[in-house]
Amino acid sequence: MATGNDTLNNLMASSAAALCSRLCTHPLDTVKTRVQVANTPQHLFPTFLHLLRTGGLYRGLPIALTLSVPGLSVYLTTYDVAKNALSKQFPGHLQDSVANHMLSAGVAEVCSGLFWTPMEVLKQKQQIETGSRMTSSTLPAPAQLQQSVRTKTLDLAKMIYRQEGLAGFYRGYFITLGVFVPYSMLYFASYEQLKQMAWARKQRTGAPDIQEHEMLSFLTIVGCAAVACGFAAGVSNIVDVVKTRWQTSILTKNTELSSTRKIAEAMFQQGGLASFTRGMGARILWMVPSVAISMSTFEWFKFHGFA
């Protein structure tokens, strides 16, 4: 099992990874959110250019940094601790197995969701604000989401608390788990298998005495993380679209957005099954570099040590 020093090192490594990843990929996250909440299909590049011109690419970044750092720290550290604990308690069945990786990923997602969900509620609401110069004619979006001015994070948090109390910040927690628990299970199972394949290939091609406590090359880890993330993100996109729309409707009184079932029904009526793939390209485009940066940074700092 991981020692206290190992856990501290993991926390610091994952915090550094969260900062690097979020700063680099937040604009792609903003594009993904805008595409998903639009009532009509939006193209990625024009949406990106529009947000670039209006200064909206980094909207929601402060709250994302504030909560994504502890969120990713809890996520990656819990995964490592759970994986080591299961390997120790069940050496004959769960030691470095796919089942271990999937169970550990599920535990990590449930714990880190306590940070991710409030971040998503606040961040996404700010990301879809249109600003004073943006109208439905320039970038179509649900009418109820149009804003004349940008809302400050603190003011938005106060509005949410007045309307729904503390529970308002956890709007969509369980549907978020419905998106990201399967995503995390698929991701870590794929990621760990890809790393094992990389180790086997490295041993076959001239390094038979290499030990698994040594680190794979930085680019190999980037590649493993990117492939695993692309697969898992694509599969879980269907539920993510519904989750995003439900969370961003928090301050509206539109009864059509009052439940995930009604949102799903409205989406199906608008565009059929294709509606549930909306934003898939943007989601993969955001998540792949985000996860590749965070995992490679985490693995590198964890190996070289902070503590």
Cβ-count burial 257-283 (b if 16+ within 10 Å, e if not):
beebeebbebbeeeeeeebbebbbbbb
Total-model pTM:
0.77
- DSSP secondary structure, 50-101, as one string: HHHHHT-TTTTHHHHHHHHHHHHHHHHHHHHHHHHHHHHH-TTTTTT-HHHH
Rounded to 5 degrees, what angle do the CA atoms 103, 104, 110 make? 90
What integer is the mean pLDDT of 48-77?
89
Which 8-state DSSP code applies to residue 148?
A: S
Convert the pLDDT of each residue in 242-276 to its tens digit: 888 877 776 565 655 667 788 888 888 888 888 88
Distance separating alpha carbons of residues 304 and 307, to the nearest angstrom? 9
Distance separating alpha carbons of residues 68 and 270, to the nearest angstrom? 33
All structural domains of the chain = 4-131+152-203+216-304 (1.50.40.10)
Please give the torsion angle defined by the CA atoms of residues 249, 255, 256 and 260, in that order, rounded to the nearest 10 degrees.
60
Tokens, residue 237: 């996109």
Tokens, residue 6: 């190992």
Distance separating alpha carbons of residues 286 and 57, to the nearest angstrom? 13
Q: Share the mean pLDDT of the chain.
A: 82
What integer is the mean pLDDT of 174-183?
88
Convert the pLDDT of each residue in 199-228 to its tens digit: 888 878 765 555 555 678 899 999 999 999
Distance separating alpha carbons of residues 245 and 172, to the nearest angstrom? 10
Longest dimension (CA), the chain: 64
Which tops the pLDDT comparison, 279 or 116? 116
Highest mean pLDDT among 78-82, 93-97, 117-121, 177-181: 78-82
Of 51, 33, 100, 111, give the one whose Cα is nearest residue 75: 111
The fraction of the chain above a pLDDT of 90, given in percent, is: 32
